[in-house]
Amino acid sequence: MTVENILRDYHLKSTTCRKFILNELLRSQTALTEHEIKTSFPDLFDRVTFYRTLKTLEDAGVIHKIVLQDNTTRYAVSRKSFHEEDIHSHFHCCVCNEVFCIQSKSRINMELPQGFVQHRVSMIVEGVCAACN
């Protein structure tokens, strides 16, 4: 699946910035920060273009954003197999600081106070990844 094909599938124009970001995210096994996506060519695009492109890709559902408890934001390609009602979970390794999307379906046994209705759950697991263990 080429970057161009993915963009066409989502009815998005095949622009340089979109192709670049998508390519970097596809190459990576982990979720990347804005800074990390840019590392190979830091000034290839204006910061504004970068933010707008990330938002376009996110709104279209090509990628998704992950906000960690340390306030850093990361992005990863969305895999089509995920359903809206699935739990959106990520693993944050506190040694190498990498973030992984957790593919396995996690089930939660939540006790909410009366009257509270659950829509979506986002979960961040902190710990040590296989490589750092």
Residues that bind DNA (CB under 7 A): 7, 12-18, 33-35, 45-49, 51-53, 55-56, 71-73
Query: What DSSP letter does each residue of 34-57 carry, written as one string?
Result: HHHHHTTSTTSS-HHHHHHHHHHH
CA nearest neighbour of 127 among 79, 102, 95: 95
> Minimum distance between the CB of residue 127 and DNA, rounded to whole angstroms?
23
Give 48 or 109: the residue with its C-beta nearer to its own copies. 109
Choose the one of its own copies, DNA, none that binds residue 114, judging by a C-beta under 5 to 8 angstroms depending on kind.
Answer: its own copies
**Amino acid sitting at position 96:** C
100 alpha carbon, distance to own chain's centre: 9
Q: Which residues in 23-62 contact its own copies (CB under 8 A)? A: none
